[in-house]
Copies of this chain bind each other. A is one copy, B any other.
Amino acid sequence: MELHLHEEAACHRADLTLKDFKSGVEPIWCPGCGDFGVLQALQRALAANGRPPHEVALVSGIGCSSRLPAYTSAYGFHGVHGRALPVATGLKLARPELEVVVVGGDGDGYSIGGNHFMHACRRNVNLTYIVMDNRVYGMTKGQPSPTTEADWDSDIAPGGVGVSPFSPVAIALAAGANFVARGFALDVKPLADILVAAMKHPGFSFVEVLSPCITFRPEEMDWKKAIKRNAIQTTSDRKAAMAAVMGADELMSGIIFEGDRPAYGQAHVAPAGMAAIEGEFIVDPAA
């Protein structure tokens, strides 16, 4: 098999539908979990994006949300907790012609994986990163994450952790992310539109998705009513975007920022080759 190591104009296939991105594997998610909505939106977006399943790779860490890759028909990588972004970075740099999408949860991405998140924003490799933020560690049965409210009561932090949550979109903007959006899992169609835009955007695209955990945070089902759907004005001015998100309501959906930092570059292929490299070591008195 020959591998194409350089990005190519990918041809767009107009005939793809959501069904083409379904795998036969049954999700382990609780009935009613917001992640079903994200899965559907993503499958829809991938169809619209027009790259066939075998040219798409979904990379994830560990958590309920990180189980997603197996539920699509694309290539997938279900790695260890918190390390999806570096895996995807390596994959994309080695195989730039693939469509690489990273998915995971708020624990995976903002807690253990926070450093990779920050550096991925900065590095700006052409990836799409979707965080299914339910403000809880679902898989481990309900502990507070970096986006959980300070007073949310749980076994591990009775009465709340006492630490205010941070704003993932503000961090992303501060770290240099070039496409920043927020979607809601149960607004499948608008979310799919955001995801299509994210995939089309060159460089690193970050999509924070509010995705209710019906089991450990049933109150998040109220987001259906609370989400403000047209309150965001997309801007290409990072400062303005930052001003708009700092201290603002985190329940607004839409594309917040789309900038024009160039994506992380291609490797230079200098015409040298192995022979020249081997020669560097030689000491030859005759020469």
18 pairs across A/B with beta carbons < 8 Å?
A113-B115, A114-B114, A114-B119, A118-B166, A118-B171, A124-B163, A162-B264, A162-B265, A164-B261, A166-B174, A166-B175, A167-B174, A173-B174, A174-B174, A238-B247, A239-B247, A242-B242, A243-B243
A95 lies within 8 A of chain B by Cβ: no
CB-CB under 8 A from A175, the residues of chain B are 166, 171, 174
A122 lies within 8 A of chain B by Cβ: yes
Instruction: Kindly report which residue of chain B lies nearest to residue A176, judged by CB atoms.
Output: B166
A: contact size bracket: 20 to 34
CB-CB under 8 A from A56, the residues of chain B are none
> Which residue of B146, B174, B239 is within 8 Å of A171 (Cβ)?
B174
How far, in whole Å, are A21 and B263 apart by their CA atoms in the complex?
A: 48
State how many angstroms separate the Cβ of A266 from the closest Cβ of chain B: 10
A5 lies within 8 A of chain B by Cβ: no
> Which residue of B146, B170, B265 is within 8 Å of A174 (Cβ)?
B170
Q: Which residues of A contact B (CB under 8 A)?
A: 111-115, 118-119, 122-124, 146, 162-167, 170-171, 173-176, 238-239, 242-243, 246-247, 261, 264-265
CB-CB under 8 A from A247, the residues of chain B are 238-239
How far, in whole Å, are A239 and B174 apart by their CA atoms in the complex?
A: 12
Instruction: Kindly report which residue of chain B lies nearest to residue A125, judged by CB atoms.
Output: B163
Asked if residues A123 and B163 are in contact (CB atoms below 8 Å), the reply is yes
CB-CB under 8 A from A174, the residues of chain B are 166-167, 170-171, 173-175, 242, 246
State how many angstroms separate the Cβ of A138 from the closest Cβ of chain B: 20
CB-CB under 8 A from A176, the residues of chain B are 164, 166
Asked if residues B242 and A238 are in contact (CB atoms below 8 Å), the reply is no
Asked if residues B166 and A122 are in contact (CB atoms below 8 Å), the reply is yes
State how many angstroms separate the Cβ of A144 from the closest Cβ of chain B: 12
Instruction: Kindly report which residue of chain B lies nearest to residue A124, judged by CB atoms.
Output: B163
CB-CB under 8 A from A242, the residues of chain B are 174, 242-243, 246
CB-CB under 8 A from A170, the residues of chain B are 174
CB-CB under 8 A from A123, the residues of chain B are 163
State how many angstroms separate the Cβ of A109 from the closest Cβ of chain B: 11
CB-CB under 8 A from A243, the residues of chain B are 239, 242-243
Instruction: Kindly report which residue of chain B lies nearest to residue A110, judged by CB atoms.
Output: B118
State how many angstroms separate the Cβ of A165 from the closest Cβ of chain B: 8
Instruction: Kindly report which residue of chain B lies nearest to residue A268, judged by CB atoms.
Output: B159
How far, in whole Å, are A146 and B119 apart by their CA atoms in the complex?
A: 8
How far, in whole Å, are A162 and B122 apart by their CA atoms in the complex?
A: 11
How far, in whole Å, are A111 and B175 apart by their CA atoms in the complex?
A: 12
CB-CB under 8 A from A114, the residues of chain B are 114-115, 118-119
How far, in whole Å, are A124 and B162 apart by their CA atoms in the complex?
A: 10
How far, in whole Å, are A187 and B173 apart by their CA atoms in the complex?
A: 31
State how many angstroms separate the Cβ of A178 from the closest Cβ of chain B: 11
